[in-house]
Copies of this chain bind each other. A is one copy, B any other.
Amino acid sequence: MRKEMNVGLLGFGTVGTGVLQIIQDHQDKLAHQLGCAVNVKKILVSNLEKKRDVNVESGQLTVDPQEILDDPDIDVVVEVMGGIDDAKSYIRHALENRKHVVTANKDLMAVHGSELLELADKQDCDLFYEASVAGGIPILRTLVEGLASDRITKMMGIVNGTTNYILTKMSKEGRVYNEVLKEAQALGYAEADPTADVEGLDAARKISILGTLGFSMNLNLDDVDVKGITDVTSEDLSYGDQLGYTMKLVGIANRCEDKVEVSVQPALVPHDHPLAGVDDEYNAVYVYGEAVGETMFYGAGAGQLPTATAVVSDLVEVLKNKRLGVNGNSVVIPQFDKKLKKDEEIFSKYFLRIHAKDVPGTFSALTSLFDEYGVSLEKILQVPLNDGKLAEIILVTHGVSKKNYETVLEKLNDTDVVVEVKSSYRVEGEIKK
């Protein structure tokens, strides 16, 4: 057994710097845990001259990826450069040379994860990516190890800090979307182009990674039904609150028998659900397992140190596995064929807000349409608008199939009494499992 393990780092930005710093600061502890030292042999950078916030030895930096990918002394490659094409080609190259890989790259894993994991499996290599979902929460390890002897049936995640910050401010301070978004951009919580966050794409990547692991089924981004938060209004938040719900952008992965359903959308969760209290830029993942019951893991979703800590804990796992001779065994290749639920098999409660004429017969016209499609109502709130010419009607349904609900939504627009369907959201978290 060698006396040290060599690591190559691809990328040396915020996260890469954090990783090197943690390894330097914890040499003794790592050696004690692993029975050997950890040495960062080479770091791929784009600029050799740039001043760094951490100690780097001369010759440790390189601009040539081959110096890492083709060095037979390097055991593990840590990819923290981001982006898709180069990162993917480097990781493939590393795996082909039988190096183990740790990555923090959710974009890459959501799109090419299954291909890379298959290659890792074929090469008997580890490929770990804890930092790709909610850096400050060890959720992937928990799904694979802590809940290894359990059957997970439901995951719900607040996995995007930007949108959770925006919804929290709108909800607690009664402010409107555009204003809060601008503030978030000024504070650096949202990017100049916030599309990937506010349209739900970032959350969709993460829930597809969680669903793939938790259900052992190869789910990609295309399987996720995605809706962002750009249309959420203060009225929706306020009526939701009155009826006992908090609005959150929730990634949902449900399994029933052998079929699954994966989505991201602004959804209303009951005030007393553990996810309802997850505020500001924080993330949380709620998991229901048949043995363990309800669990939730809460923490920072991003940030230099949380993310770097997750990368280092993956690295420790790879090195432990290497000494055990079991590398590649913990690569989770989906065990089950993908079976997605059809719209008639996806059941949920819904919150619906409409503007209707305030005339006799309005409510019976609505309820007869609902009855026709098996939609029954749990909560009703009606408020007069425009001096009583209009009524604002808020309804919460009992469980109904997505197919029937969407048919009703369409038909509502054809009804004489309905002036406008203002908004519609899933209500989640009242039924466990």
Q: Which residues of A contact B (CB under 8 A)?
A: 22, 25-26, 29, 32-35, 136-138, 141-142, 145-150, 272-274, 276-279, 282, 291-300, 303, 305-306, 308-309, 312-313, 316, 320, 323-326, 329-330
- B309 and A149 contacting across the interface, CB-CB below 8 Å: yes
CA distance A221 to B165 in the complex (A): 40
By CB atoms of chain B within 10 A, which of A35, A279, A299, A313 has the most? A299
Q: Are A149 and B297 in contact (CB under 8 A)?
A: no
Q: In the bound complex, do residue B292 and residue A305 qualify as a contact, i.e. CB atoms below 8 Å apart? A: yes
Contact residue among B26, B142, B148 (Cβ-Cβ distance under 8 Å from A149): B26
On whether the beta carbons of A297 and B294 are closer than 8 Å, the reply is no
What are 28 A-B residue pairs whose CB atoms fall within 8 Å in the complex? A25-B149, A26-B149, A29-B148, A29-B149, A33-B148, A33-B329, A33-B330, A35-B325, A35-B326, A35-B329, A136-B292, A136-B295, A138-B146, A145-B316, A274-B277, A276-B277, A282-B294, A291-B305, A292-B306, A292-B309, A293-B299, A294-B300, A295-B299, A295-B300, A296-B296, A296-B299, A323-B324, A323-B326
Cα distance A22–B137 in the bound complex, in angstroms: 26
In the bound complex, what is the Cα–Cα distance between A279 and B271 (angstroms)?
12
Q: Give A322's nearest chain B residue, CB to CB.
A: B324
Whole-angstrom CA separation of A147 from B295 in the bound complex: 19
Q: Which residue of B lies closest to A277 (CB)?
A: B277
Whether A142 and B148, one on each chain, are in contact in the complex, defined by CB atoms closer than 8 angstroms, is no
Which 3 pairs, one residue from A and one from B, show the smallest C-beta to C-beta distance?
Answer: A295-B299, A291-B305, A277-B277
Given A22-B149, A298-B298, CB of A306 within 8 Å of CB of B291: yes
Q: How many identical chains are in the complex?
A: 2
- A22 nearest CB neighbor, chain B only: B149
- Count chain B CB atoms within 10 A of each CB in A22, A148, A272 and give the residue with the most: A148
Chain A's interface: helix, strand, loop or mixed, by majority?
Answer: mixed
> Which residues of B are found within 8 Å of A305, using beta-carbon distances?
150, 291-292
Report which of B35, B277, B291, B316 forms a contact with A272, defined as CB distance below 8 A.
Answer: B277
CB pair B303 A274 closer than 8 Å: no
Give the residues in chain B near A292, CB-CB below 8 Å. 136, 299-300, 305-306, 309
With A and B bound together, what is the CA distance between A143 and B403 in angstroms? 46
Whole-angstrom CA separation of A294 from B279 in the bound complex: 12
A253 to chain B, nearest CB (A): 18
Do A297 and B297 contact each other (CB < 8 Å), given the known contacts A26-B148, A309-B149, A326-B34? yes
Q: How far is the CA of A370 from the CA of B148 in the complex (A)?
A: 55
Residues of B within 8 A of A300 (CB): 292-295
Chain B residues with CB under 8 A of A26 = 148-149
Cβ-neighbour of A306 out of B141, B148, B293 (below 8 A): B293
Q: Which residues of chain B are near A146, meaning CB under 8 Å?
A: 138, 141, 309, 313
Task: Write out the residue numbers on chain B whose beta carbons fall within 8 Å of the beta carbon of A329.
Answer: 32-33, 35
- Minimum C-beta distance from A323 to chain B (A): 5
Q: Which residues of chain B are near A324, meaning CB under 8 Å?
A: 35, 320, 323-324
The answer to whether residues A313 and B148 also contact, given A292-B306, A294-B299, A299-B293 and a CB cut-off of 8 A, is: yes
Residues on the B chain within 8 Å of A35, using CB: 324-326, 329
Q: Which residue of B lies closest to A304 (CB)?
A: B291
Q: Contact at A136–B293, with CB atoms within 8 Å?
A: yes
Alpha-carbon separation in the docked complex, A279 to B296 (Å): 13
Q: How far is the CA of A18 from the CA of B272 in the complex (A)?
A: 31
Shortest C-beta distance, A142 to chain B (Å), equals 6
In the complex, what residues of B have CB within 8 A of residue A279's CB?
272
Residue of B nearest to A150 (CB): B309
Instruction: Name the contact of A313 in the complex, choosing from B145, B278, B306 (C-beta under 8 A).
Output: B145
Q: A226–B282 Cα gap in the complex (Å)?
A: 32
Judge whether A309 and B291 touch: CB under 8 Å.
yes
- Which residues of B have CB within 8 Å of A293? 136, 299-300, 303, 306
| Chain B residues positioned under 8 Å from A326 (CB to CB) | 33-35, 323
